[in-house]
Amino acid sequence: MRFDFRRIYVHTILGALGGLLGWALTIPLAWLQLGGTVGLFLKDTLIGALAGLALGVALGAYDGLFASRSFKRLLKGALLGGLVGVCGGALGLILSETIFLLGGGGVWPRALGWALFGVLVGSAQGIGQWSLAKVGYGMLGGLLGGLIGGSTYERLSVLLQMFASRELGLSVGGAIGLTILGIFIGGLVGLVEVVMRTAWLWFTRGMLEGQTVTLDPRRKEQVLGRADDCQIVIPGDPDVLPHHAAILRQGGAFVVEPRDGPLLLRGPQEYTPVDKHTLRHEDRLQVGKTRFTFLGEQKGGAS
């Protein structure tokens, strides 16, 4: 297994940036005084929506920024991620406050609420790519990240307000806390995908060299090519055609076939054209000048 540390690292950085942006958006609300339970829930709804927006945009932008290198997909991922983040963040913080009130206060009721926040926001990237598998990875990673990061955030805020001042807890504590929350949610979303995926492509030559792309086992077809509507966009290779090849799910196995352009498979000595091929672990393929290796399942079982 080739462990994709780059994916985890990039998700961690994006999560941290999303958390910091979330703090910048919500800091004016932290000082807002709204009376009564209704006011409290309204404030939490606004804070959750803005924090979720920031994290959703950051995680949703991953594909367009680092995988497909496509501005159109970047915009789509950021918009869908932001929308999911707004809804998930608002609902997560409402549930957080409800659990906090029912639980009689304390750090862990808040942390459970942040875990729910993480579940909803963590799904943003998968929804942006219309991938059920990635939605699942994101929800599990978000749950773990929200629980760990949220408990750290709440404990830090309490300690700063206890030993320093309320102002310091709201400002410095909020900045550090939301950044930590973003780090854990982003990093664990990336980690869970790397650990749980069953099949993926590892690019060995071309603009995507060193990167991996997860294959969704629930999709019947995943197209590789230069066009933005491909599931796997291969940028920067003029010899790759708009819909160059496709990976199909047939009888429990992954099968690759050419579409607009030729597909090459590495044999004992060189790359040779193929019409249709059932992928096996460590098969090496080429489209245009881009080369990649299939890793994961073999026909008849997982490797």
Query: How wide is the angle at C-alpha 198 spanned by C-alphas 297 and 246, nearest 5°?
Result: 70
Q: Where are the domain boundaries for CATH 2.60.200.20 in the chain?
A: 200-302
99: confidence class by pLDDT, cuts 50, 70, 90: confident
Local confidence band at 206 (pLDDT 50, 70, 90 cut-offs):
very high
> Per-residue confidence at 276, pLDDT binned at 50, 70, 90?
very high
Give yes or no for residue 265 having a pLDDT over 90.
yes
Average pLDDT over residues 88-114: 78
Tell me what pLDDT residue 72 has: 86
CATH topology of domain 200-302: Tumour Suppressor Smad4 (2.60.200)
Top mean-pLDDT range of 129-133, 147-151, 199-203: 199-203
- Give 286-299 pLDDT, tens digit per residue: 999 999 999 985 54
Question: How confident is residue 302, by pLDDT bands cut at 50, 70 and 90?
Answer: very low
Q: Which of 144-148, 172-176, 220-224, 238-242 has the lowest mean pLDDT?
A: 172-176
Higher local confidence (pLDDT), 95 or 290: 290
- Note whether 178 and 190 are within 8 A (CB): no
Q: Is residue 84's pLDDT more than 70?
A: yes
What are the distances in angstroms from CA 40 to CA 98, 115, 210?
A: 11, 20, 48
pLDDT of the residue at 301 = 37
